[in-house]
Amino acid sequence: MQGRVSCLLVMLALSHLAVSQRQPSPLQVNSDARPIQMHLDAEIHLNCIHLDSGRWRTYPGQDEFYVQEELDRYVAVSLKGECRPALNMALVQGGNSLKPSDLHIVDLADRERGGVIAVVVWSPDDHTQKPGILVFNPDGSFNRLTFIEGAFFPTHVAEFSSGAVYVVTGYDEKGAIYQALVTSEGRILKPDVLRDREGPPTAKDPAESSSPAPMNAALIQLVSGDDDAVYLYNAARGKRAYRIRSDGTFTVTDLEASAPPPGEKTLILGMFISHSSLYLHEALIDESEKTEQVMTLNRFLLTVYDRYSGALQYTYLNDAAFGGNPVAMAPREFYFLKSKALPDGALDFSLIRAVP
């Protein structure tokens, strides 16, 4: 089981989501299809976090990042460079039979009401794996752990702002993809909220049709909206965003097409939204490469769409001067978390502000 968890975590490092809460200022549509190069505008050194090990994970959130400080502990890093506790597995309560060390975090996201939510797998032995949802309060205290009914491996979770229902993505041993509607008690209302109306996804790229289920499920993007909805993007279903309601119904917004540079294709890394914009963060890879064979990411695109009409607003190019999924403060202002290896092997961190 540990091998399966570790393998999936590598893939999930490519697919974290962020939500921006700040109202962007009015903007004009970029009629030029060529991407705009992003530039470093400012760098803020972080004094509140310094890791002794090269093993760490990071997730973007609402105007902040979440950084794995220890194997079982995460801190929230604000854009002012301040840190606070976000999640501590040692605080988890689940009965005498549950050891926090048997819980493995697969993905982590922020909550509209504050705090963080994580999708986890409980694996007390080599023969048991049980998906669950772990919630922590804004002050870093433990809220609840809910186990999900059904035998599937989770990849992402997003919470409706009402707090009563979740959308959880994942896959099972037969390769079926879950985009499930799950109650706060862990009951699956719908295994796939999109299938009844749209049927199974159709791969747009023949080279991707043979991708394994773990990769396909990991690349689905989820983000909680401020309108009691969850937004979903699944590249296998085309360039469209799904706005899912808590009753399982949904609407579709087709996103205006934007072609990558010649000889390249895109690999989705993250989706996030603001009050009026939707952002896709993608890596540029050689068009002949299969997703599961990609080892190095050097070039990235950030595409900004109108959240409601799907109209293309801006496309930005990032040539790996700063990497990882950003926090979007506005359609023309982004923050990235940068790490630097020190001579003793430790990691030093800084915040990068990037603009066109």
Calculate the average pLDDT of the chain: 83
| 316-339 residue pLDDT tens | 998 866 767 899 888 889 999 988
Rounded CA gap, 215 and 15, in Å? 10
State the DSSP H helix or E strand holding residue 4, giving kind and residue range, or none if neither: helix 2-12
Give the residue from 293, 235, 241 showing the smallest Cα distance to 260. 235
Label residue 110 by pLDDT band (50, 70, 90): very high
| pTM for the structure as a whole | 0.84
In order of their start, the domains of the chain are 2-355 (2.120.10)
- pLDDT on residue 316: 93
- pLDDT on residue 53: 67
What does the buried/exposed string (b/e) look like for 300-327 if buried means 16 or more CB atoms within 10 Å of the residue's CB? bbbbbbbbeebebbbbbbbeeebbbbbb
Question: In DSSP terms, which residues pair with 180 in a beta bridge?
Answer: 168
| Range of weakest confidence among 111-120, 130-139, 209-218 | 209-218
Rounded CA gap, 223 and 59, in Å? 13
Label residue 198 by pLDDT band (50, 70, 90): low
Spatial contact of 179 and 232, defined as CB atoms under 8 Å apart: yes
Q: Does residue 322 or residue 134 have the better pLDDT?
A: 134
- pLDDT on residue 4: 36
Q: Does residue 163 or residue 333 have the better pLDDT?
A: 333
Alpha helix ranges (H) inside 199-254:
213-218
- pLDDT on residue 104: 92
- pLDDT on residue 49: 85
Would you say residue 70 has pLDDT above 80? yes
Q: Which DSSP symbol is given to 13?
A: T
- pLDDT on residue 148: 94
